[in-house]
């Protein structure tokens, strides 16, 4: 069984946040949610590298906008993918930092889930170093496995 992917959702609108959390949890994701960008940064600071698979945030929030949150989050976890949503379609041009953008209300739940799935799948950790075993030369083979007479 695969471990659940963890998504950090940030939105100052409690209703939007709870709907998004429910949607993602019913699809098998583990969701950490907060209405505060500052709390989201605290959560990321405490999180182990690679333990959060996606940052999903609103663009317009009172304390800090989504672009600033994403920039600061990527300082903490540089490989963290991010998806920004916004209440207006015209906000797409204000997306400066996110890997992907979706306007709230103009997208369906399936579009959000598809985008999340793609971004989570794209996340890659450090490549594992694999040591290749080279075949033994003939003289090494005879030293390791002496012939029996």
In a domain, 39, yes or no: yes
Whole-number pLDDT of residue 39: 97
**Is 85 inside any structural domain?**
yes
pLDDT at 28: 93
**What local confidence, expressed as pLDDT, does residue 33 receive?**
97
The encoded tokens of residue 73 equal 């989050």
User: Would you call 26 exposed, middle or buried from its count of C-beta atoms within 10 A (0-12, 13-18, 19+)?
Assistant: exposed
| Confidence (pLDDT) at 66 | 92
Report whether 56 contacts 7 (CB < 8 A): yes
Is 139 within a domain?
Answer: no
Question: CATH code at 119?
Answer: 3.40.50.2300
Q: What confidence score (pLDDT) does residue 47 get?
A: 94
**pLDDT number for residue 110:** 87
**133: in domain:** no
28 burial (CB, 10 Å; 0-12 / 13-18 / 19+) is: exposed
Domain range holding 36? 6-123
Count of structural domains, the chain:
1
Residue 144 lies in a domain: no
- pLDDT at position 29, please? 95
Those residues with Cβ within 8 angstroms of residue 114's Cβ, 6 or more apart along the chain or in another chain: none
Q: What is the mean pLDDT of each run of 10 residues along the chain (149 residues)?
A: 84 93 95 96 94 94 92 95 81 76 78 92 53 47 50
Tokens 């709230």, residue located:
104
Which pLDDT value is given to residue 129? 43
Specify if 79 maps to a domain: yes
19 domain residue, yes or no = yes
DSSP 69-112: HHHHHHHH-TT--EEEEESSGGGGGG--S-SEEEETTTS-HHHH
* In-domain check, residue 1: no
Q: What is the pLDDT of residue 146?
A: 53
Q: Where are the alpha helices (DSSP H) in the chain?
A: 14-25, 37-46, 66-76, 109-122, 138-144
């Amino acid at each position: 069984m695969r471990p659940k992917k963890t998504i950090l959702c940030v939105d100052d609108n409690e209703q939007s946040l709870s709907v998004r959390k429910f949607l993602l949890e019913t699809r098998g994701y583990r969701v950490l949610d907060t209405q505060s960008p500052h709390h989201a940064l605290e959560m990321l600071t405490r999180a182990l590298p690679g333990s959060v698979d996606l940052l999903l945030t609103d663009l317009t929030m009172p304390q800090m906008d989504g672009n600033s949150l994403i920039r600061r989050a990527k300082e903490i976890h540089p490989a963290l993918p991010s998806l920004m949503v916004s209440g207006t379609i015209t906000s797409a041009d204000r997306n400066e930092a996110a890997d992907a953008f979706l306007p709230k209300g103009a997208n369906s739940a399936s579009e959000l889930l598809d985008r999340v799935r793609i971004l989570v799948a794209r996340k890659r950790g450090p490549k594992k170093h694999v040591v290749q075993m080279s075949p033994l030369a003939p003289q090494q083979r005879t030293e390791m496995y002496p012939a029996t007479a």
